Structure 1
Amino acid sequence: MRNRLVLLLATVSGVAVGNVYFPQSITPAIAAGLHVSPGDAALVITAAQAGYTAGLFLLVPLGDRVPVRRLLPTLLVVTGLALLGAACSPSLPVLAALSLMIGTSTVVAPIIGPFVAGLVPASRRGVTNGLLLSGGTGGMLLARTLSGYLASWWSWRVPYALAGVLVLALAVVVARALPDSVPATRSPYPRLLLSPLRLFREERDLRRSCLYQATIFGGFSAVWACVALLLTGPAYGYDARAVALLALVNAGTMIVTPMAGRLVDVVGPDRVTVVCAGAVIVSAVLLALASSGSLVMLVLGTLLLDVAMQSGMTANVVRIYALSSGARSRLNTAYMTCAYLGGAAGSWIGLRSYAAFGWLGVCALVGALAVVPVVSVLVPSRATLALR
């Protein structure tokens, strides 16, 4: 597989992931532009995330059923048109409905990963997947930062319009660049939807990967759900722009993730999983030291947490892609759904931990969650043997 195609698909993944995250930075501008409260404007974020979760379950399994050369451009066109429609939205209900459509159709990254895994040798799946994850990370970080500044300079409609044009342009490029592929299955659509549940029940390594990523992503989500409260609180006293700048600092993750992928190819997923979980525990300590106002500790802690989470994801997807060459999209559906459920739970528990115990409570939660994969790999018990 040519490097240019991998870089193209990494770019597509980044743009697609960014479509879910950039509304987080422009909610105040949306509220002002549509004359609604900031709380009501947050419905746009919820709709996009709900749509993405629905797309994981409803559309990602089609990667095993529909030729990817046809599926990806179709989803990109739908996403691009919905983004342009959102830029012209006259009211919040219309924008929320289009955000739901955007989130549902922009699930191309979980389709690209299994597709690429089938085109490269097993010895290069780690580094290739690391490159794809770097693209997604870059899209998330840049989308949050650039959209906020574009909305402040011009209008909240500008990020939607530019994203729509970019997605439609990528749809044309992808349609020409992707190679032909043969679908892995001809199963009817209802059977495709049930297949991830069956795979989860049958494949122990899939259950392990789901557990590991749900716990680590839960800790990651808890930190990023609460870090704005810390930065704008009395310990730091910054404004909301500091959150976007902190996220941009963590762009170093894009460099480290492909290196972690190479390590997975050499030593295997389990060893990398343990190292990443240990790094999350260290990051929890650094973040705890940041509670008194140390910006250096906060930057180091969030950077290490981001690197560990993304590197652990690389190890987990390599593990599940090795289970079946004909069901990678459905395996990824089960895995990503569990990961996002863990992230949602982590955000919910993290906010309540912050309210009850402050920032140190969030750090304790992160450390406790990271212990789960370490114990599961190094100290198998009756419960963890059921997963393994």
Structure 2
Amino acid sequence: MLFDRQPAPPGSGLSKQTLWLMTVGAGLVVANNYYNQPLLGLIARDFDVLESEVGIVSMLTQIGYAFGLFFIVPLADMFYRRRVILTIFPFIPLSLLLATFSCSLPWLAAASFLIGLSCVIPQLFVPMAATLATPDKKSHSIGLVMSGLLIGVLASRIISGIIGEYLDWRHMFFFGAVVMVVYWIILIRQLPEVAPAFHDGYAALMRSLRQYLRSDPELRLASWRGACSFATFSAFWTTLVFHLEGPPFHAGSGIAGAFGILGVTGAVVPAILGKRIDQLNKNRVIVTMCAISLLSWLLLGGPGANSYLALIIGVLLIDMALQAIHLTNQAIIFARHPEATNRVNTIYMTSYFIGGSLGTFVAALAWQYLGWTGVSVVGIGCSILMLAGHLLFHRKT
């Protein structure tokens, strides 16, 4: 069959070609979830709705992603992973085309949920890299794929901001659909296979998620940190375009998207940190990055909030903190459960994107009633919750 291939043994090693295939692909696929953010102002004007209403597009994309993480990603522990990936993949361009031709905000919101639901492929690549890599290359492989994913998240805003500025938001979704078809063809030719590690039914598979969550306090704590950190990240990026459109900036979607260039600079953190994370004190890394996240929001909400300099420094600090915390979280949970990388990643990433969707929703409301000051309060609050949760419940091991 077209999707069949001989499985590679766990720990047998990843070729550079395969590792880069997953790294680049993680960025290309996850970008589809974030094309909408610099375009929200354009979409609101096109459909003649309030800025607070159009925030549902970004929120439902993240909720769809959380659903995909919870219900689809665990299947990769139960079925051959290549087959799962190649079966899901065609739904990505189909969802993007539905968004392209949406005639109203409810249709676009539905398409956005489906985009998020189908674009969980990067969360299959990360555990796949962890499974196939040799022990000495495991953290490095995870870090490199994570760098690709994060560059995709941030570069998507640059691309969509430019296309929105000079064409319109529908062209962005259509362009994404074309890219996905091309990448799917490449995956069919080159993606390796990984045999399943779970041999019971789907109900037992889903019950095992609860067992891991209940039995492992470090997994619960990593999930909390991930949710809070992504809430701060989403609060910033969802409302940045509205902040830049108003005084004193009066900038368009192209400027909002250009801020992604700064984030891309920081997205190399996982690739660098992944080489050294096993030698570092993970508790110290997490506490430091939580403090940096809090500092960034104090800067963004302070007296210099209406300056480009504050925004530039803020985005660099927020992205650096998010990426370092995220990689450290995944290094911890994969090392604790090598037999269930997809399932523990499901628990962690579901919490992560629920946090992101809540951050988006609350930040949109805060913007509507309190402007950028309200958004800064949301970011500060999430950073404090992340640091407090870690300090209260972290156990020295």
Report the TM range for the smaller structure's normalisation: 0.7 to 0.9
8 Å CA contact 1:264–1:272 kept in 2: the answer is: no
Give the Cα–Cα distance (whole angstroms) in 2 for the partners of residues 41 and 362 of structure 1.
16
Give the Cα–Cα distance (whole angstroms) in 2 for the partners of residues 361 and 29 of structure 1.
23
What letter matches 1:186 in structure 2?
A: H
Distance 1:387 1:104, change over 3 A: farther
Matches within 5 A, 1:7-22: 7-22=20-35
How far did residue 279 of structure 1 move? 1.9
1:260 and 2:273 aligned: yes
Residue in structure 2 matched with residue 72 of structure 1 by the alignment: 85
Residue in structure 1 matched with residue 64 of structure 2 by the alignment: 51
Residue in structure 1 matched with residue 218 of structure 2 by the alignment: 205
How far did residue 213 of structure 1 move? 1.6
Matches within 5 A, 1:187-206: 187-206=200-219
1:165 and 2:174 aligned: no
Give the Cα–Cα distance (whole angstroms) in 2 for the partners of residues 201 and 49 of structure 1.
25
Distance 1:373 1:387, change over 3 A: farther
Q: 1:179 is matched with which residue: 170, 176, 192?
A: 192
Q: How many residues align?
A: 383
What letter matches 1:177 in structure 2?
A: Q
Give the Cα–Cα distance (whole angstroms) in 2 for the partners of residues 46 and 119 of structure 1.
34
Matches within 5 A, 1:1-388: 1-27=14-40, 29=42, 37=49, 44-89=57-102, 94-289=107-302, 291-351=304-364, 359=372, 362-363=375-376, 365-374=378-387, 381=392, 384=393
Q: More displaced, 110-119 or 288-297?
A: 288-297
Distance 1:345 1:155, change over 3 A: closer
Per-residue CA deviations over 1:133-155 (Å, capped at 9, x if unaligned) read 22122222222222333344444
**DSSP 3-state at the match of 2:89:** helix
What letter matches 2:140 in structure 1?
A: V
Give the Cα–Cα distance (whole angstroms) in 2 for the partners of residues 245 and 63 of structure 1.
36
Normalising to structure 1: TM-score of the pair? 0.86
Percent identity over paired residues: 28
8 Å CA contact 1:28–1:38 kept in 2: the answer is: no
Per-residue CA deviations over 1:311-332 (Å, capped at 9, x if unaligned) read 1100000101112222111111
Q: More displaced, 337-346 or 305-314?
A: 337-346
Q: More displaced, 279-288 or 252-261?
A: 279-288
Give the Cα–Cα distance (whole angstroms) in 1 for the partners of residues 269 and 321 of structure 2.
9
How far did residue 61 of structure 1 move? 0.7
Q: More displaced, 312-321 or 209-218?
A: 209-218
Q: More displaced, 231-240 or 310-319?
A: 231-240
How far did residue 364 of structure 1 move? 5.2
Normalising to structure 2: TM-score of the pair? 0.85
8 Å CA contact 1:84–1:161 kept in 2: the answer is: yes
What letter matches 2:288 in structure 1?
A: V
Per-residue CA deviations over 1:231-273 (Å, capped at 9, x if unaligned) read 3343444344432222332211222221122231221432321
**DSSP 3-state at the match of 2:120:** coil
Distance 1:42 1:356, change over 3 A: closer
Q: Which has the higher helix share?
A: 1
8 Å CA contact 2:333–2:344 kept in 1: the answer is: yes
Give the Cα–Cα distance (whole angstroms) in 2 for the partners of residues 240 and 319 of structure 1.
38
| Structure 1: stretches of 5+ with no match in the other structure | none
8 Å CA contact 1:261–1:311 kept in 2: the answer is: no
| Structure 2: stretches of 5+ with no match in the other structure | 1-13
Q: More displaced, 88-97 or 133-142?
A: 88-97
How far did residue 208 of structure 1 move? 1.5
Per-residue CA deviations over 1:347-381 (Å, capped at 9, x if unaligned) read 4444555667664554455445434555555x5x5
Give the Cα–Cα distance (whole angstroms) in 2 for the partners of residues 152 and 78 of structure 1.
28
Across the aligned residues of Structure 1 and Structure 2, the Cα RMSD in angstroms comes to 3.0
Give the Cα–Cα distance (whole angstroms) in 2 for the partners of residues 239 and 300 of structure 1.
20
8 Å CA contact 1:11–1:135 kept in 2: the answer is: yes
